[in-house]
């Protein structure tokens, strides 16, 4: 069983696991994923900035037609359940996270654009994903 965790931080200068001042909410996916979000999804963004982000994503995938929501910074963790040190381990992927809508199938995707390499995290949303807010 493989699980994935994301920490969505309020400011990009804090890539480490959250301190007590950040609020977390785990999301478990039926496809053996678990995603931890922090309450920082952006609400009102400026039109020009939003358009620039969309155009940047469309350079990689021209079928993206809308950014549903995003957060400026996440850190990806994998849940290791086996071995001597089970727990969340950094996956060397961090940067902005996007929930995007596409013109073609798969209609919705979850994308973390890695700041340090081209090793992005991309997954399709699935109706069997479950949300567990704590």
**What DSSP element (H or E) covers 108?**
strand 108-112
Rounded-to-integer distance, Cα 116 and Cα 109, Å: 21
Instruction: Confirm if 34 and 44 have CB atoms less than 8 A apart.
Output: no
Q: Which range among 68-77, 103-112, 120-129 has the greatest average pLDDT?
A: 103-112
How many separate domains does the chain show? 1
* pLDDT at res. 19: 36
Q: Which structural domain, as residue segments, surrounds residue 44?
A: 3-131
pTM for the predicted model, two decimal places: 0.65
Residue 17 to residue 3: CA distance in whole angstroms:
16
Residue 51: which CATH number? 2.30.29
pLDDT above 70 for 86: yes
Question: What does the block give as tokens for 89?
Answer: 């381990």
The pLDDT score that the predictor gives to residue 111 is 94
88 — pLDDT class (breaks 50, 70, 90): confident
pLDDT band at 130 (very low <50, low <70, confident <90, very high): low
């Amino acid at each position: 069983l493989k699980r994935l965790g994301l920490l969505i931080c309020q400011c990009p200068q804090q890539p480490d696991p959250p301190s007590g001042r950040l609020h977390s909410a785990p999301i478990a996916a039926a496809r053996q994923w678990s995603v931890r979000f922090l309450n920082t999804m952006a609400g009102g963004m400026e039109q020009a900035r939003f358009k620039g982000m969309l155009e940047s994503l469309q350079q990689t995938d021209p079928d993206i037609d809308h950014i549903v929501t995003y957060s400026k910074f996440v850190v990806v963790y994998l849940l290791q359940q086996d071995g001597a040190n089970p727990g969340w381990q950094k996956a060397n992927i961090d940067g902005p996270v996007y929930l995007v809508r596409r013109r073609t199938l798969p209609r919705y995707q979850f994308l973390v654009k890695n700041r340090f390499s081209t090793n992005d995290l991309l997954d399709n949303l699935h109706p069997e994903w479950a949300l567990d807010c704590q």
